[in-house]
Amino acid sequence: MKTPIKRSLDFKYLNYDLPAGLVVFLVALPLCLGIALASGAPLFSGIIAGIVGGIVVGSLSGSPLGVSGPAAGLTVIVLTAISSLGSYEVFLLAVMVAGIIQIILGIAKAGIIGYYFPSSVIKGMLAAIGLILILKQIPHALGFDKDLLEDDTLMRAKKNSFTEIWYALRYNSIGAVIISIVSIGILLLFDRPFMKKIKLFNFVPGALIAVVAGVLLNYAFSFLNPAWALKDEHLVLLPVADSARGFLGFFTMPDWSAATNPKVYITAATIAIVASLETLLCVEATDKLDPEKRSTPTNRELLAQGTGNIISGLLGGLPLTQVIVRSSANINSGGKTKVSTVFHGLLFIGCAMLIPRMLNLIPLACLAAVLLMVGYKLAKIALFKEMYKLGWEQFIPFIVTVIAILTTDLLKGISIGMLVAVFYILRRNYRTSYFFHKEDVRDGKQIKIELSEEVTFLNKASIQLMLEELPANHKVLIDGSRSVNIDHDVLEIIQDFKEHGAKMKKIVLELVNIPEFKGTTGH
């Protein structure tokens, strides 16, 4: 039985929650900066989202161990939206509207919507996002930090992600390449099982070590070979405040004049749907990882995420979701309650106020390496093999979703993947609405048709066809004993067959546990 969740902060486990919050912060910091970079947004927007995700969502959420912040799954949407809306300030208005939509979904108790998306489509979406992340971050990893693309479309005729990689290969920076290789090597090393046996590295994430190594390498280049050293646009460029008032000036307000722009609401709906879906899937995964098996109220989570997105958009931050990478880090570090999440948000504020100059020493190549690994984990070859082994009904919607997202955009790709998945669902329903048995009885052959547990209007065609093909001069038993629900349309077909079809074929028809049809059959 799952344990209910307390609604208020619980300070009884500070000895667990504070260290866990520190680890989550160390994991989240390079990811927040890297996701802002991949989204084409100001880097400080990632910090704002980390603050709001930790303090605001962490306080309001019913998830004891879930951690919210900017998510890699939204980078494609953000990148496209900023370009199509014309400015980051207009995009912030869309983020706020998305938050309002999420609150409406929470009030409407739509927390179960995640269960209606086939896992094949969700996995396809995540794999496509992983591939896009990889293709978009290769130029940064090579030291070519001039983004040639206006959106996420990979297959444009003249300028696309592949031409951008070609430019990066021609105009690469040796220093950036070395830093990227070292950073990826460190991240791969930290993924090895033997590293988990070293207690120190259970509390120090590989992403942080990679970032520190990148900073030290770049510092060494400035002495050993200045031509390799990365400067200016190749480094993180967070604004540095001289005072508290100056720090507050870094927060960006939405462009309220864009309230009449229909593109704002289309973007907002897209963000709300994808962010809610990602959050609900993450909630399900986090609850499964929770040692105490507590159950997160999903409708309350939508309310918390919606409030967080309203505030993040108001202050200039990226859209938020609950994120499995940070949530699992929280669990693995021994976090017990929401205090660890709130504490990691407070650390973001302190970091942005006190050490921005240190953050500005981080090479973008380092963050690109972190995101390349995130992309790789989302789009592992093993995932494609696993989906293939599950059969065509799972693999085809999965691979269609991946290809559709890569060649169009995220929303169109998911829609196309859903259509393919629904086709296979309908086909499966068509086939499994009944069980056909042919039995020997004293007076001759008897056909027994046993209806399945749920018989919906989707099964009309298969049942109609089956009844039409029954041989004449037989005994037929239609048994609804196993059925929890038989749709009115199906009952109409059975009644019509009883009154007309069976008599024409001289079939002796017996109905068992079939509800009485209420209405006319149209004859």
> Are residue 38 and residue 154 in the same domain, yes or no?
yes
Q: What pLDDT band is residue 76 in, cutting at 50, 70 and 90? A: confident
Does pLDDT of 188 surpass 80?
yes
Cα separation, 18 vs 336, in Å, equals 10
Q: Is 225 helix (H, G, I), strand (E, B) or coil?
A: coil
Cα separation, 404 vs 490, in Å, equals 36
Does pLDDT of 481 surpass 60?
yes
Q: Point out which residues pair with 449 in neighbouring strands.
A: 436, 478
Mean pLDDT score across all residues of the chain: 82
Does pLDDT of 172 surpass 90?
no
pTM for the predicted model, two decimal places? 0.68
Contacts (Cβ under 8 Å, ≥6 apart) of 476 = 446, 447, 448, 449, 470, 502, 507, 508, 509, 510
Q: What pLDDT band is residue 405 in, cutting at 50, 70 and 90? A: confident
For residue 444, which phi and psi values (nearest 5 degrees)? 130, -160
Q: Which of 260-274, 283-297, 344-358 has the lowest mean pLDDT?
A: 283-297
Instruction: Look at residue 76 and tell me if it is in a domain.
Output: yes
For residue 474, which phi and psi values (nearest 5 degrees)? -125, 160
Instruction: Look at residue 8 and tell me if it is in a domain.
Output: no
Cα separation, 31 vs 207, in Å, equals 8
**297-311 mean pLDDT:** 95
Instruction: Look at residue 523 and tell me if it is in a domain.
Output: no
**286-314 mean pLDDT:** 90
Give percent of the chain with pLDDT exceeding 70.
86
Q: What pLDDT band is residue 122 in, cutting at 50, 70 and 90? A: confident
The domain containing residue 449 runs over which residues? 433-512
Q: Which of 143-152, 192-201, 297-306, 320-329 has the lowest mean pLDDT?
A: 143-152
Q: Is 450 helix (H, G, I), strand (E, B) or coil?
A: strand
Residue 107: the pLDDT is: 94
Residue 442: the pLDDT is: 53
> Are residue 329 and residue 393 in the same domain, yes or no?
yes
Contacts (Cβ under 8 Å, ≥6 apart) of 370 = 30, 31, 34, 183, 187, 207, 210, 211
Q: What pLDDT band is residue 200 in, cutting at 50, 70 and 90? A: low
Residue 437: the pLDDT is: 66
Does pLDDT of 379 surpass 80?
yes
Cα angle 152, 153, 154 (rounded to 5 degrees) comes to: 110
Residue 436: the pLDDT is: 64
> Are residue 332 and residue 449 in the same domain, yes or no?
no
| Among candidate residues 419, 447, 463, the one where a domain is terminated | 419
Contacts (Cβ under 8 Å, ≥6 apart) of 149 = 136, 156, 159, 160, 161, 164
**319-331 mean pLDDT:** 84
Q: What is the DSSP string of 347-414?
A: HHHHHHHH-HHHHTT-BHHHHHHHHHHHHHHHT-HHHHHHHHHT-HHHHHHHHHHHHHHHHS-HHHHH
CA distances from 273 to 19, 40, 101, 225, 280 (A): 34, 21, 9, 49, 11
Sign of CA dihedral 454, 460, 466, 467: positive
Q: Which of 44-48, 83-87, 408-412 has the lowest mean pLDDT?
A: 408-412
- DSSP structural state of residue 520: -
Contacts (Cβ under 8 Å, ≥6 apart) of 409 = 76, 80, 151, 152, 153
Instruction: Look at residue 428 and tell me if it is in a domain.
Output: no
> Are residue 360 and residue 501 in the same domain, yes or no?
no
For residue 369, which phi and psi values (nearest 5 degrees)? -65, -40
> Are residue 319 and residue 439 in the same domain, yes or no?
no
Q: What pLDDT band is residue 148 in, cutting at 50, 70 and 90? A: very low
Q: Which of 155-169, 342-356, 409-423 has the lowest mean pLDDT?
A: 155-169
Instruction: Look at residue 132 and tell me if it is in a domain.
Output: yes
Residue 10: the pLDDT is: 72
Cα separation, 138 vs 140, in Å, equals 5
Predicted confidence (pLDDT) per residue in 21-54, tens digit: 887 887 788 788 888 988 889 989 999 999 999 9
Give percent of the chain with pLDDT exceeding 90.
27
> Are residue 373 and residue 495 in the same domain, yes or no?
no
Burial of 265 (0-12, 13-18, 19+ CB in 10 A): middle
Residue 435: the pLDDT is: 63
Instruction: Look at residue 4 and tell me if it is in a domain.
Output: no
> Are residue 40 and residue 166 in the same domain, yes or no?
yes
Q: Which helix (H) or strand (E) segment is 134 a member of? A: helix 119-141
Instruction: Look at residue 459 and tell me if it is in a domain.
Output: yes
> Are residue 53 and residue 172 in the same domain, yes or no?
yes
CA distances from 520 to 68, 492, 495, 496 (A): 55, 8, 9, 9
Alpha helical stretches, state H, 39-68: 43-52, 58-60
Residue 395: the pLDDT is: 92
Does pLDDT of 523 surpass 60?
no
> Are residue 415 and residue 437 in the same domain, yes or no?
no
> Are residue 322 and residue 458 in the same domain, yes or no?
no
> Are residue 480 and residue 378 in the same domain, yes or no?
no
**301-321 mean pLDDT:** 96
Contacts (Cβ under 8 Å, ≥6 apart) of 298 = 111, 112, 114, 280, 283
Contacts (Cβ under 8 Å, ≥6 apart) of 229 = 175, 218, 221, 222
Cα separation, 269 vs 284, in Å, equals 23
> Are residue 415 and residue 305 in the same domain, yes or no?
yes
Cβ pair 81, 60 in contact under 8 A: no
Q: What is the CATH number of the domain that holds 467?
A: 3.30.750.24
Instruction: Look at residue 453 and tell me if it is in a domain.
Output: yes
| Among candidate residues 389, 419, 449, the one where a domain is terminated | 419
Total tally of structural domains belonging to the chain? 2
